[in-house]
Structures are given as C-alpha cells and as structure tokens.
Amino acid sequence: MQVALDDYVWAAGVATDLVNTAPEVWHGEDHLPDLAALAGFADLHSIPSPASDLRAVHRLRATVRNLIDHPDREHLITGASSLTSPAGHVTLLADGTRWAVAPQRGATISDLLSLICGIAILGAVQTLGVERFRACGAPTCQGAFIDTTRPGRRRYCMPGLCGNRVNVANHRARFKHRDA
Ligand SMILES: [Zn+2]
C-alpha cells in the first residue's frame, strides 16, 4: 500500500473513524472488539489488513485520541511524527502525479493505520491549523474528530448520528416548553 502524502483529508477521516470506535464513545462497548471487526474497518477504508495486531491498534487509537484531545501545535507535530515511524520509502503514486510513502516491508495493520494517522495529523496541522482538532459538540457524546471541511464548522464526530441526537433532544425540549 502507498499513502499519498497530501491526502490528509482521507487520512483524517480514517483517524476520526478509528478514535470513534473506542468504548468510551459507545457507553463501554468497543466497536473494534476482535480481528473480524478490525478487518471490516480496514476493508471499509480500503486499507489492506496484513498481519493483524488488535492490541497495537487499540494502543494506537488511544494515542491518536490523546493527540486530538490536546491540540497543542508542538505536541501534535511531535506525536504525529512518531506515528509515521512505520514509513519505509518515499515514492510516487502509480499514476506518477503525487508524492506518496510506502510502509516498511512486513508492516502490520496497526503500522499502516499509524502511518495514515500520522499523515492525517501533520497534514491537518500544516493546512488547517490546530483548532481543527475537536471534541464532539453533542453533549452526550464522548467522541472527537479532525475537521477537514472547507469552512471548518463541523460540530460532531459522527454527523449523521450525533447531529441527529442533538436535533431530537432540541425538538423534545421545545415540545416540553410548549406543554409547560
Ligand atoms: Zn459525537
């Protein structure tokens, strides 16, 4: 696999999805509980899943979450740089149009995800700035995300889910007021 060095938008989507599989986001239920779930996650993002190492992925998930939760520029750059340690050589994508990096031989799925998350964070810091690392705006949600939208006004870690939860809560609150 090769990861385009300028494709931080895709990479940030993977990093965001990864941190939001954590048990604290799902009331204690891990959404990456086993190797089958991990293979499904990789598949969903078109990431090959060679040698799988679930515990390393869980550790990586916690590391990435910690970085998003403490969006200090130096901390993000240092942390993200060490996430890229599975990088092997720099190359060009198959069509020759963009810089890319290939992981070292024998890289595991956690190595690949680490590399992707490192590129995600470095790209987002460079292009968008540290204010794009945020906690979910839904009061009942413990999720976090990297906002790569153009206007930078994303509010929820899983917009379809958390945005709807907030809408439903607001709707209920309005009705309560009317009835009172
Ligand atoms: Zn959320």
Q: Inform me whether the pLDDT recorded for 177 exceeds 80.
A: no
- How many whole angstroms separate alpha carbon 129 and alpha carbon 109? 28
The answer to whether residues 132 and 152 touch, using CB atoms and an 8 Å cutoff, is yes
Digit-coded pLDDT (tens) for 24-60:
999 999 999 999 999 999 999 999 987 789 999 999 9
* pLDDT band, very low/low/confident/very high, at 176 (cuts 50, 70, 90): low
pTM for the structure as a whole:
0.92
Q: Inform me whether the pLDDT recorded for 179 exceeds 70.
A: no
Burial 73-112 (b: 16+ CB within 10 A, else e): eeebbebbeebbebbeeeeeeeeeeeebbbbeeebbbbbb
- How many whole angstroms separate alpha carbon 119 and alpha carbon 100? 10
Digit-coded pLDDT (tens) for 106-156:
999 999 999 999 999 999 999 999 999 999 999 989 999 999 999 999 999
Q: Inform me whether the pLDDT recorded for 90 exceeds 80.
A: yes
CA–CA distances in Å: residue 24 to residues 27, 51, 61, 166: 6, 26, 12, 19
What are the phi and psi torsion angles at 105 (to 5°)? -60, 140
- How many whole angstroms separate alpha carbon 58 and alpha carbon 136? 20
Q: Tell me whether strands 144-146 and 3-4 are parallel, antiparallel or unpaired.
A: unpaired
- The chain-wide mean pLDDT, for the chain, equals 93
pLDDT in the model for residue 166: 74
Q: Using the Cα atoms of residue 24, residue 29, residue 33 and residue 39 in order, give the sign of their dihedral.
A: negative
pLDDT in the model for residue 126: 97
- 34 CA to middle of ligand 1, Å? 23
Question: What's the rounded mean pLDDT across residues 61-69?
Answer: 98
- 26 CA to middle of ligand 1, Å? 10
3-state secondary structure of 103: strand
As a whole number of Å, the end-to-end CA separation of the chain is 59
- 168 CA to middle of ligand 1, Å? 14
- 140 CA to middle of ligand 1, Å? 8
What protein residues have CB closer than 5 angstroms to ion ligand 1?
A: 136, 138, 141, 143, 156-157, 162
Digit-coded pLDDT (tens) for 6-23:
999 999 999 999 999 999
Assign domain 3-179 to its CATH architecture. Answer: Orthogonal Bundle (1.10)
pLDDT in the model for residue 178: 59
The answer to whether residues 113 and 57 touch, using CB atoms and an 8 Å cutoff, is yes
Q: Inform me whether the pLDDT recorded for 170 exceeds 80.
A: no
